[in-house]
């Protein structure tokens, strides 16, 4: 049974680092047909793709232009999970953050979501 | 690539047929998907590769289109279909982009 379980902090102070994890069950983070995405949702931005990690004989990670330089997505094969680190957060980074799997470029499963608030 | 959706919201009755349009700023291939989202839940895949119904999705949902215009049609709207619908493209990856959403309300 495939499942994505998200964990991580819900409240972050401005300028600090947001860290989220997505534990994968029912698939391997090293699958050569899957991609592991981080997507956020807010009233102002709608659904915004942040980045994707995928393994095709080696690891690749792509990021959205809007967040390049501020985020890092790391696959962890020992824990079968993928993590997101978001540096120097600002209040506008407050959103519902999701991890999601794509299988052959079809986003078919989403985590439960983590509500992140950036506030002092 | 930018995706726009029309209408941004609509009100319909149980049993109605509803069509939502997604327009792309550039000509696309077939990697266009549709999602349904209820409040407080993650999006749920309905249609992928423009036409293909995801497993377990009722057959009253159908997708179509090509080029820059794509559609999601719901035949005989049911109570559980009142939700927000999003289109999404993978053809011009990276990035992955989503439409702004169409909210379907009860008339």
Q: Which of B33, B86, B101 sits opposite A106 (nearest CB)?
A: B33
CA distance readout (Å), B86 to A57, B92, B105: 32, 17, 15
End-to-end CA distance of chain B: 33
The confidence band for A5, taking pLDDT boundaries of 50, 70 and 90, is very high
Q: Provide the pairing of β-strand B102-106 with B9-12.
A: parallel
- Smallest CA–CA distance, residue B107 to chain A, in Å, is 24
pLDDT value for A75: 98
Q: Is the pLDDT of residue B19 over 90?
A: yes
Percent of chain B scored above 70 by pLDDT? Answer: 100
What are residue B93's phi and psi, to 5 degrees?
-65, 145
Query: Looking at residues A76-103, what average pLDDT do you find?
Result: 97
pLDDT value for A1: 87
Q: What is the 3-state secondary structure (H, E, C) of chain B?
A: CCEEEECCEEEECCCCCEEEEEEEEEEECCCEEEEEECCCCCCEEEEECCCEECCCCCCCEEEEEEEEEEEEEECCCCHHHCCEEEEEECCCCCCCEECCCEEEEEC
∠ CA B103-B89-B53, nearest 5°, is: 70
pLDDT per residue over B68-91, tens digit each?
Answer: 999 999 999 999 999 999 999 999
Cβ of A46 within 8 Å of Cβ of B93? The answer is no
∠ CA A115-A52-B93, nearest 5°, is: 120
Percent of chain A scored above 70 by pLDDT? Answer: 100
Percent of chain A scored above 90 by pLDDT? Answer: 98
The confidence band for A32, taking pLDDT boundaries of 50, 70 and 90, is very high
Write down the residue that tokens 């049911």 correspond to. Answer: B78
Q: Within an 8 Å CB–CB cutoff, is residue B42 touching chain A?
A: yes
Cβ of A107 within 8 Å of Cβ of B86? The answer is no
pLDDT value for A111: 98
CA–CA distance, B72 with B75 (Å, rounded to integer): 10
User: What dihedral do alpha carbons A102, B40, A5, B85 form, nearest 10°?
Assistant: -10
Q: Which of A47, A98, A111 sits opposite B86 (nearest CB)?
A: A47
Q: Within an 8 Å CB–CB cutoff, is residue B90 touching chain A?
A: yes
């Amino acid at each position: 049974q495939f499942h994505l379980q998200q964990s991580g902090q819900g409240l972050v102070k401005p300028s600090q680092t947001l860290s989220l994890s997505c534990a994968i069950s029912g698939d391997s983070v090293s699958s050569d047909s899957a991609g592991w995405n981080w997507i956020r949702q807010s009233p102002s931005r709608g659904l915004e793709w942040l980045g994707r990690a995928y393994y095709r004989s080696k690891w690749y990670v792509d990021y959205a232009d809007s967040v390049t330089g501020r985020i890092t997505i790391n696959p962890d094969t020992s824990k079968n999970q993928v993590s997101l680190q978001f540096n120097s957060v600002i209040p506008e980074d407050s959103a519902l953050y999701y991890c999601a799997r794509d299988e052959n470029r079809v986003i078919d499963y989403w985590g439960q979501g983590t509500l992140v608030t950036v506030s002092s | 690539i930018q995706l726009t959706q029309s209408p941004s919201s609509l009100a319909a009755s149980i049993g109605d047929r509803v069509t939502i349009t997604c327009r792309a700023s550039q000509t696309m291939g077939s990697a266009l998907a549709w999602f349904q989202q209820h409040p407080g839940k993650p999006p749920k895949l309905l249609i992928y590769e423009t036409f293909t119904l995801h497993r377990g999705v009722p057959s009253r949902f159908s997708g179509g289109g090509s080029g820059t215009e794509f559609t999601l049609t719901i035949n005989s709207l049911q109570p559980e279909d009142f939700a927000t619908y999003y289109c999404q493209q993978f053809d011009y990856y990276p990035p992955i982009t989503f439409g702004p959403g169409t909210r379907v309300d009860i008339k």
